[in-house]
Structure 1
Amino acid sequence: MKIRTAIIGCGDVVQSYGNNSESTLNHLAALEQNKNYEIIGISDTDESKLKSARERYKIKNSYNSYKDLILENEIDLVIVAVPTSLHYEVIKFLIDHEISDIFCEKPLTNSLKEIKNINESLANQNIYVNYFRRWNEELEREAGKVQEGTYGKFIKGNCYYTKDLYTNGSHILHILNWFLGNPDSVKTRYLNQCNNEIFADFTLNFNDSPININCLEDVDYVLIELDLIFTKGRIKITQRGQKLVIGQVIRDENYDFNKIAENEINTKWNECFSNAYKNIEECIIEKKVNKCDINSALQVHKILDDIKNEK
């Protein structure tokens, strides 16, 4: 069985990221490598993007209207990669037309109310949300260790992100929710809303253990970094998830006390897209667990709402 797939939106995340390497860092590259998917068609209102994707990946059917793409074809999976402001409209159309599986770029929408509405509208349909680090195998392993208590009790943390709260800050929130669960409280320390972007510094508390998350507004690089300290170790996620630094408590051989010994790991971050499509395939064919479902997005957006409204 091939999974009949349609793509709405043909921007960088669909066709361009990673094209200077052998990595599968965009949707079409990952789909091209997985023989269990068949690309039925693509759509975009921008003819130049549509032409580029069509020619680069030899796609026969292309549309300026996503509605025509959906209505004229038999489709199992739809990838939604339009601007976030259009997500709600597109997803509601797909739900109303009984598309069974939807893979949407993050953030799922711009509002908690819209996500709740989508969730209530689902009828045995699956939504996968592209917080793509969820399909990083090394991060998945460490999240499991945290939940099993390998590193002991969480004590304190610091995180940094660039760009705005919804673009990159939401990645931080997703990882923290994945590793530590839902925070008990949110304290917004700084909030700046400018040109439809939100920049915020805030503190989350998990069982009275704080994490300070700080935005770097005016820099010309991308940074997503987490440093989590536990009673029995430390986890640092650096270079946007490309590297892990794992610290474990050992006895110092020269002094009469314990120390943290650190081990740096290069993660297989460039396999996240491929792993996402393997997971989606398993969900569709074998009914396995969706690793990044609408509930993951819902939890992230509850925190985003608290950050905006708390100050």
Structure 2
Amino acid sequence: MRKTKATSENVTFSNITAPAGFSINPDGTVNVPANALPGDYIFTYTLCPIGSTTGCVYDIFVSFTIHNTVRAIADAFNFDTQGNFLGSNHDDPTSFNILTNDGYAVDCGFSAPNSFVGAVLNDNVTLSNINQTELAGYFNILNNGAVNAINNIIPTGYYNFTYEICDFIYPNACSTTYGWINVISTARGFSTNIKEKADDNLVSIYPNPSKDFFTVSFQNTIDKGNIKVFSSLGQVLFSNSFQQTNEEIIDLSRFPNGTYLIQVILIDTVFNKKIIKN
């Protein structure tokens, strides 16, 4: 039997069950409402030859995905107890703005993550729903996304926050994430003049990504230091002090796959590096 391609000239659609606001055109293209939220959508239809009720194909399922145009990524900032900024987990560790590592996809994310560019406030994204209750009056997050210490006597510990960014043009496309501020004591032999941007060549981590074990390698033998691993929720999963070594092994085999933050604290330097367990 010879097969002929179905077109609007030889078939018709009927019995269409579609999500609210969606529709199918006679040529088979789909109309997507401008306010559609990112996610998976399914609808069904019947296909029949034009002018005939026989030879129909019933209950045809169609599934498609609307990708999000914005992507908010977890933040980790380090301050000392005097409110001095020490660094972050961003690609630019000197950044203390929560939007710095967030992204916007100009092509609706279909080639994500390569299509994502930087999120720019009031250009391609909006910032809202900043929950900073747990910052406890020691920090605040400004309307432009900057993290600001408002106290110069801050207890050590973790201060959590959440926020949401949305597409500037399509405000229903949103992404919510969390972050934390780690306040480090400067009273235990650490200098208050901690470098904000350390030489990345001094510390390397391999393999990255890794399945279970990560090696933290130092360019030179380190007299004294500390390594911590944080989850995306800001929980300390691993902490170890070391001395007179040029290498440390971190075992994450008991933890789920995902992105983690390794923080290496030396006498006058804080290194923050992201690792991926897969």
Q: Which of the five TM-score ranges fits, normalised by the shorter chain?
A: under 0.3
TM-score, L = length of structure 1: 0.24
Question: Per residue, is there more helix in 1 or in 2?
Answer: 1
Larger Rg over CA atoms: 2
TM-score, L = length of structure 2: 0.26
